[in-house]
Amino acid sequence: MLTIYMIVLMTLIITTLIMLLSSVLSKKTVLDREKMSPFECGFDPKTSARLPFSLRFFLIAVIFLIFDVEITLLLPLASVTPFTNIFSWSFSGLFFLIILLFGLYFEWQKGALEWSN
């Protein structure tokens, strides 16, 4: 038990030292105005270098990822068909699909799937 504590302590010490060392070595020492400004052919920028990001696009992307992961969890059901009971296979598949459709209905009712708003 003592050896586990020692290994955990040494791991924490080594990782802390590595993070501190990388933080110290990566600091920029010269804060020059021209080096810190965005590069635009040597001229001062006319507008902001930051472009606005559509939060609606981000929400659609997250919803797509969630449903994509759920579909990848649903696909192995077809390959396990010969090895399981048909009742348990259909129950688990239908239960998972009902949860998936309920989530889709909820997103639709909240208006998260409409791009034009």
Domain contains 9: no
DSSP 42-98: TSPPSS-SPPP--HHHHHHHHHHHHHHHHHHHHTHHHHTGGGS-HHHHHHHHHHHHH
Give the dihedral of Cα atoms 59, 65, 66, 71; nearest 10 deg. 150
Number of structural domains, the chain? Answer: 1
* Tens digit of each residue's pLDDT (9 = 90 or more) over 37-71: 666 566 666 666 666 777 778 888 888 888 888 88
Domain contains 1: no
Compute the mean pLDDT over every residue in the chain, rounded to the nearest whole number: 81
Q: What does each C-alpha distance from 52 to 64, 110, 117 come to in angstroms?
A: 22, 24, 17
Domain contains 46: no
Domain contains 45: no
The pLDDT value given to residue 23: 82
Domain contains 95: yes
The pLDDT value given to residue 66: 83
- Which residues fall within 8 angstroms of residue 111, CB to CB, at 6 or more apart? 117
Q: Which domain holds residue 96?
A: 55-110
More confident residue, 75 or 33: 75
Helix axes 55-74, 86-110, angle to 10 degrees: 170
Domain contains 61: yes
pLDDT at residue 7 above 60?
yes
* Tens digit of each residue's pLDDT (9 = 90 or more) over 64-107: 888 888 888 888 888 888 888 889 888 988 998 898 889 888 88
Domain contains 62: yes
Please choose, from the candidates 56, 64, 96, 65, the residue with its C-alpha nearest in 3D space to the C-alpha of residue 78: 96
